[in-house]
Amino acid sequence: MTTQTHIAVENPATGEVIGHVDDMTAQEVGELARRARAAQPGWEAMGFDGRARILKRMQRWLTDNADKVITTICAETGKAYEDAQIAELSYGAAAFGFWADKAPKYLADERIRSSAIFVKGKRLVLRYRPVGVVGVIGPWNYPLTNSFGDCIPALAAGNSVILKPSEITPLTSLLLAEGLAECGLPDDVFAVATGCGPTGAAVLDEVDMIMFTGSTATGRKVAMRAAERLIPASLELGGKDPMIVLADANIERAANHAAYYSMFNCGQTCISIERCYVEAPVYDDFVARVTEKVRAIRQGVPAGPGSIDVGSLTFPPQVDTVERHVDEARDRGATVLTGGHRGPDKGYWYEPTVLVGVDHDMACMREETFGPTLPIMKVADAEEAIRMANDSEYGLSAAVFSRDLKRGEAVARRLNAGAVTVNDALINYTALELPMGGAKPGSGVGHRHGPGGIRKYCRQQSLLISRFNPRRDIHMHPYKATRTRLLGRLLAILNRGVS
């Protein structure tokens, strides 16, 4: 008889243990998968309308239980109330309605037209079938948006889903599983597999498709295992997202976006601003404004709406990464204009930090920091900014600021990133119609959102339907019938060509 082991869940802002979850074994995950596979055909058979009714009930459940959901997210991530409200709860509520409404359109049968003479007069159809059981391995920075959020389109497509949330932030997923059950989701269609790395590996070994969000290093391992099993994988990985400020930009707007979107969720956002390139004529003005704004940020333990601007870091080793990047830059001649230190309190803290005097050989400009830092680099012109922005293994997102929209868009089109905003940052993620994914291997493979964001959870099936002519077909030898039909079509085409 084996003894169930448990994982302690901490509030990273205080260090307090707020709960325990099971560390599930491979055998337990296998049982979840067996039950999910058995439940999936019934869920698929409910059709788009039946599934949409449950998803829209869950949309209402989220808004009805908003405070409970936000409090849970804040407690296990350490993020500010507004960060959880804007980027998690609002996203989740929108996603349930969006996928309920769009699944029938995005997955509708498509009539295919062909120029092949041998299929003339036949009906050709492309349809989408759910893959079966989808595995989602989620990150710790957004337990609703980037963990549970990927389950919503998979469910809307008719799949069963096993979610393996980060062992750092599993409580939100368990709470939302309760919500789905209350909203009438059939048993075993959705399951949460709590645990550490071996639990995630077990999920990967049981499912028919895997969606992974996390580090590039772990993403490579997931991709290799998926390839061994010959199952599809969608991977959203690292980012080192650049912001380019051209000399004709509205500097106040650019500074506001740089300060807010570099520090949002304490910098722990895959598409946050991680490095800034500013044309020389406006560099000093931009740096002064950003530094003033970042210095004014209120950081502390979240205690409800309006209490703080930025919370703590969520993952303990992330503090070490942020400190290493800042200390290395400082040792090599960079200047810290504000911040630059670990927090003294319990929990996982690092001050919002602005760095100048950086160069492109520093880790803070090349490696994903995933923390509350903003290194700012002076460039001679837009060409140097584009070259520096593209000099990265990552290509997830980018931003360009210019009053000249034509010029701003021209620069944006030359950036090797999956999504580029002009005079904005990050909010492209809220447009669920717009695909979001990396343009370079370091940032992953595949997209979320848009038609591809649900079709990836499906297999394509081609149908070819022929009419039946009893007078011509029923008494004729099959070989002769086939030859006669093909010859007739060829002659008809040749006659049209001659005429």
Find, among 367, 370, 384, 280, the residue nearest to 329 by Cα: 367
User: Residues 65-76: what's their mean pLDDT?
Assistant: 98
What's the CATH number of domain 6-237+450-459, 1.20.1250.20, 3.30.70.580, 3.30.360.10, 3.40.605.10?
3.40.605.10
Q: Domain boundaries in the chain?
A: 6-237+450-459, 242-432, 468-498
Residues 361, 423, 334: CA angle, nearest 5 degrees: 25
Contacts of 286 (CB under 8 A, 6+ apart): 245, 251, 254, 255, 258, 276, 278, 376
242-432 architecture in CATH?
3-Layer(aba) Sandwich (3.40)
pLDDT of residue 344: 76
Distance, C-alpha 392 to centroid of its chain? 20
Same fold? 6-237+450-459, 242-432? no
Q: Which two tokens stand for residue 53?
A: 């009714």
User: Residues 286-304: what's their mean pLDDT?
Assistant: 97
Catalytic choice (183, 270, 276, 364): 270
pLDDT interval class at 1 (50, 70, 90) = very low
pLDDT of residue 227: 98
Task: Give, for 135, the enclosing helix (H) or strand (E).
Answer: strand 133-137
User: Residues 472-485: what's their mean pLDDT?
Assistant: 59
Catalytic choice (44, 76, 236, 279): 236
Q: Which two tokens stand for residue 268?
A: 């722990």
pLDDT of residue 474: 54
What is the per-residue pLDDT across 214-271, written as a single tens digit (0 to 9) for each? 999 999 999 999 999 999 999 999 999 999 999 999 999 999 999 999 999 999 999 9
On the question of pLDDT at 499 being above 70, the answer is: no
Quickly tell me which residue has 């979320």 as its tokens: 448
pLDDT interval class at 345 (50, 70, 90) = confident
Q: Does residue 236 carry a catalytic annotation? A: yes
Q: Does residue 364 carry a catalytic annotation? A: no
